[in-house]
Amino acid sequence: MLLSEIAARLGCTVAGNSDPEIHSLSGMEQASAGQLTFLANPKYAHKVKNSAASAIIAAQESAFLPTLISSNPYLDFARALELFYQPPRMPAGVSPLAYVSASAEIGEGASIAPFCYVGDGVKIGANATLHAHVVIYAGAQIGDDFLAHSHSVVREFCRIGNRVTLQNNAVVGGDGFGFAKRADGTHHKIVQSGITVVEDDVEIQSLTNIDRATMGETRVQRGAKVDSLVQVGHACVVGEDNIICSQVGLAGSTILKKSVLLAGQVGVSGHLTIHDNAVVYAQSGVGHDVDQGTIVSGSPAFDFREWRRAVTAFPKLGEMVRTLRDLEARVKTMEGNKSSDELQD
């Protein structure tokens, strides 16, 4: 496509004296002739002059490359990718090698690959795609435009909204981790009688578990995006438009409000609330409620500004301790000399 054609599709304007032909997109440092790149963070602007790309998406005109002027370069780069690449789509229909219960209801335009299992009483909306080895347990209710990649699982009676994507090996509604201890020290499993509810426009990535509740429900609200290797415990609420990065663990009954961001490897103890627009930096341990709009870091997590000051001091603690001991020794020596002088007087 010509750069001007891409601009028209995206609603952007073109700046520069040429209209190059674009065949694909790439990052700035990897791009070559015929490729479109982007600049989202101004601190990397110095790299543009060395890029071999034929054009760039940026907020301002570049002196070095023809530019698609965009108010959101990263978003428009993502939209431009869709013009050049669409993942393969399976043909509509149910493979004869899949098992679909006679009592299941499958919407129009669905594609169900070989070796899928769809249990009794399941309802799946229009245009669903189930790749090979997807398992939908009995009684699950799923909306339109559902996309489930291989080996993903939706457990019994769970509810999923429209336009939900499950990446490979995601599990919705696995048993919550609940056991009662007997007098002899052994453990009695607590039946996990609740469900998991996933609302519209949610994506759950590979090897992530959203546990069902002991009673009631675990809920992932509209627009939330949950990365790979995340554990959401029973009766948690993941709020609207949350971003939950890889290797996060939420203990049971954690509540995340709207637009919360948890960076990688955050651990959250249960029965607490992280409020709207809060950010938790990577590898933090949260053991208390987090106020709206605040940024915390560390373990235990506290205000990120204080945390940065503390982190700066950590490498110096050994030297500070040695200095403190030296000062203590000097003070004791001075006090001893003073006492001797007083005795002589």
Looking at the structure of the chain, the number of domains it has is: 3
Residues 197 and 242 occupy one common structural domain = yes
Separate counts of helices (H) and strands (E) for the chain? 4, 38
Same domain flag for 152 and 77: no
310 domain residue, yes or no: no
Residue 141 shares a structural domain with residue 267:
yes
Q: Domain check: are 140 and 284 in the same one?
A: yes
- Is the same domain home to 297 and 231? yes
84 CB burial (10 A radius; 0-12, 13-18, 19+): middle
Specify whether 44 is located in the same domain as 104: no
| 190/76 same-domain check | no
Stretch 322-337: mean pLDDT, rounded?
Answer: 89
Read off the pTM: 0.89
Cα 165 to Cα 224: distance, rounded to the nearest angstrom? 11
- For 161-178, the pLDDT digits (tens) are 999 999 999 999 999 999
Residue 272 lies in a domain: yes
205 and 180 fall within a common domain: yes
Provide the annotated active-site residues: 234
Q: Is residue 342's pLDDT more than 90?
A: no
DSSP string, 247-279: T-EE-TT-EE-TT-EE-TT-EE-SS-EE-TT-E
In 97-148, beta strands by DSSP E:
99-100, 105-106, 111-112, 117-118, 123-124, 129-130, 135-136, 141-142, 147-148
Residues 261, 339, single domain; the answer is: no
pLDDT attached to residue 343: 58
The pLDDT confidence band at residue 5, using thresholds 50, 70 and 90, is very high
pLDDT (tens digit per residue) in 56-92: 999 999 999 999 999 999 999 999 999 999 888 899 9
Residue 306: pLDDT over 80: yes
Q: How far apart are CA 289 and CA 298, in angstroms?
A: 14
Note down the domain range covering 39: 3-84
Pairwise CA distance, residues 252 & 227, whole Å: 18
Q: How confident is the model at residue 345 (pLDDT cuts 50, 70, 90)?
A: low
Task: Compute the average pLDDT of residues 45-64.
Answer: 94
Same domain, 179 and 210: yes
**One domain for residues 52 and 99:** no
Residue 341 confidence (pLDDT) = 66
Where is the domain boundary, 67, 84, 101?
Answer: 84
Residue 211 lies in a domain: yes
Check whether residue 319 and residue 298 sit in a common domain: no
Query: pLDDT tens, 176-200?
Result: 999 999 999 999 999 999 999 999 9
